[in-house]
A and B are shown apart, each in its own frame.
Chain A
Amino acid sequence: MNPLEIVRIAFKSIIGHKLRSVLTVLGLIIGVSATTVIIGLGQIAENSLTKQFLNSGENIITINYNPVPRQEDYNASEIDYEMSPTITEQDITELRRSDDIKTLILSNSTTATLHDFKNDTIDVEILGLEEDTHSTNEYSIIEGKNLTSYDFNNIGSSILISEDFADRYFPDGEVIGDIIDISGYPMKVKGIYKNPDDEIVLNTNQAILPLNLYQNVYKSSTIDNIEVEAYDTETIEKAGTAATEVLNRNLGEEYTGQFEVLDLEELQKGITGLTTTMTFLIGGIASISLLVAGIGVMNIMLVTVTERTNEIGIRKALGATRRVIMFQFLVESSMLTLIGGVLGIILAYSMITILSMVFNWAILISPWLIVIAVMFLVLFGILCGILPANKAAKLVPVEALRRE
């Protein structure tokens, strides 16, 4: 007989037991959506972590000073973690000469302690940025004006402060044009910028000073942090190596360590490992609900078979073979899981989409994931249905007809 007929019979039976089917499907929706959301969020987390740490797509590489010497036979007690070299004017001049480096992104940072209107202390991260660095970071100004070339090229007093800092320091009233005393210098708030969402920052209370102003206030002519921008993704490594060569050549004798390029590959592996572990862990917990839902399907199918013993007897007396009966119940259980599963996936993706919109994440919907999920669900449904379907198929017609 036509398999489509069996599908029709199975569908009718599901429709016939509305409440029962709805409850079974509900269990599946919860199980599937919980698992899918966790896996989806895991992918998003990995993607955004990778983006943050590796600045992917921006051709920018961070250069760090590693106090551990390159030689393997060093004495661990001799490592001075406190001693960190700064980048000098000499370094900068040499680096700017390199053909592989497009831009140098230089910044200084320190923490200043301020007092708010309640006289509580606020620790503010003070960033001293060069004009190039400032424009690369693309801060979005939500109030007031951005810093201009004029501010960077002259020693003025205009600064930008972060939204969180503004809210804390000026709970109400006019902010723009107001004066804040930072480390003993009065500074004028020119604009407020939005704290970037996609960046892990320990302290969201921040102030951005033009580098000239920063160096003037903190009496330093050196640079703490350096990043280099390459011309394209392929030459990132080359630019990084060129920069570390210059910096290490100029490094004083007293420093045992050296400048290093952040090992992107290692870091990428680390991030992937971390997020995969997390996804597996939480996904594992979530998949318990899927397992419970599967047991629910099996349970309901067993109840269905017992309850429909009479129907099975009638169908057999009227010419249904064992295979047809088996197929009917398998189709029924896989239909239940498929309906529940598809609804679950739809729910999960709407949840992820909404969360992404709220938290400004990049959404990742892999069509392969959906295909695999749907195939898995059908298989899952068949698996959950085998036991009940086999029970139904094995019923002797006489026995089945005897029961009412």
Chain B
Amino acid sequence: MIKLKNLSKEFTQGIQSTRVLDNINLTIDKGEFVAITGASGSGKTTLMQIIGCLDSQSSGEYILDNQSVKDKNEKQLAQIRNQVIGFVFQNFHLLPRLTAMENVEIPLIYKGIPKRKRRQMSIELLERLGLRDRTDYRPSQLSGGQKQRVAIARALANKPKILIADEPTGALDTKTSTEVMDIFKELNDEGLTTIIVTHERSIASSTNREIVVSDGILLSDGKKEYSHESS
């Protein structure tokens, strides 16, 4: 599903250039539950952004779904972000003036789903995440856990192939973190490829595969032998 070949990323500022990712080789198969961890500044977020087509590599190759991402134009990349990848962010990134339902509808609008159908899909998604009675609430009226569940609903709106979560529990307390992780596990069980970027060991260890990034290189890539159910 995801294949990175000798992928590097450099940021140039003036004459100075910093290599944030150095020769990354990585393959993530369909249905995997992966954690990318590392200290802050290790390059894990950049790696996630490249995988999520939010950013592009400086060199090397990224093959998503058997297609090289390098060949895609701006419109095609937008379409990938819209329909192939679902994002969940640390700070939820919900639009404050829209209701929970309207936030979930955003990816559906960009896909071109008509209003009535969109509304129904949005409500179904929120219901599935236990927010049936919160559809008309604005983000400011929701708790952290509820906000993250709205964000997950939004990420799932267009039935993506890959779910990418960037520090999804960073702004949540332990109890809610566990709840949110349970949702991810559940989604993974249903076959959704899930990638979680985190610096928390406990969160990383609840996945099936921990990829550790340090100073732009892959430090370790540990596939657990045991299944996530027993962890």
Q: Would B81 and A1 count as touching, CB distance under 8 A?
A: no
Instruction: Choose, from A43-51, A154-162, A276-284, A308-316, the stretch at the interface.
Output: A308-316
Residue of A nearest to B155 (CB): A318
Q: Would B95 and A324 count as touching, CB distance under 8 A?
A: no
**A-chain residues with CB within 8 Å of residue B107 when the two chains form the complex:** 318-319
Known: A16-B97, A319-B81, A320-B78. A401 touches B89 (CB 8 A): yes
Q: Would B95 and A319 count as touching, CB distance under 8 A?
A: no
Q: Would B112 and A315 count as touching, CB distance under 8 A?
A: no
> Is B224 part of the contact surface with A, judged by Cβ < 8 Å?
no
Cβ of B171 to closest chain A Cβ, rounded Å: 12
- The size of the chain A interface, using a CB distance under 8 A, is 26
> Is A69 part of the contact surface with B, judged by Cβ < 8 Å?
no
A327-362 CB contact bits vs B (8 Å, 1 = yes)?
A: 000000000000000000000000000000000000
**A-chain residues with CB within 8 Å of residue B57 when the two chains form the complex:** none
B89-106 CB contact bits vs A (8 Å, 1 = yes)?
A: 101010101100000001
> Is B74 part of the contact surface with A, judged by Cβ < 8 Å?
yes
> Is B55 part of the contact surface with A, judged by Cβ < 8 Å?
yes
Q: Would A396 and B55 count as touching, CB distance under 8 A?
A: yes
Q: Would A319 and B55 count as touching, CB distance under 8 A?
A: no
- The size of the chain B interface, using a CB distance under 8 A, is 27
Cα–Cα distance between A5 and B115 once the two chains are bound (Å): 9
> Is B137 part of the contact surface with A, judged by Cβ < 8 Å?
no
Residue of B nearest to A320 (CB): B110
Cα–Cα distance between A323 and B74 once the two chains are bound (Å): 10
> Is B83 part of the contact surface with A, judged by Cβ < 8 Å?
yes
Q: Would A397 and B54 count as touching, CB distance under 8 A?
A: yes
Q: Would A5 and B54 count as touching, CB distance under 8 A?
A: no
Cβ of A11 to closest chain B Cβ, rounded Å: 12
Cα–Cα distance between A144 and B94 once the two chains are bound (Å): 80
Cα–Cα distance between A90 and B106 once the two chains are bound (Å): 93
Q: List 24 A-B contacts (CB under 8 A).
A: A1-B109, A1-B111, A1-B112, A2-B114, A311-B95, A315-B106, A315-B110, A316-B81, A317-B54, A317-B87, A318-B110, A318-B154, A319-B82, A319-B158, A320-B78, A320-B110, A321-B75, A321-B110, A322-B74, A323-B75, A396-B55, A398-B54, A401-B54, A401-B89
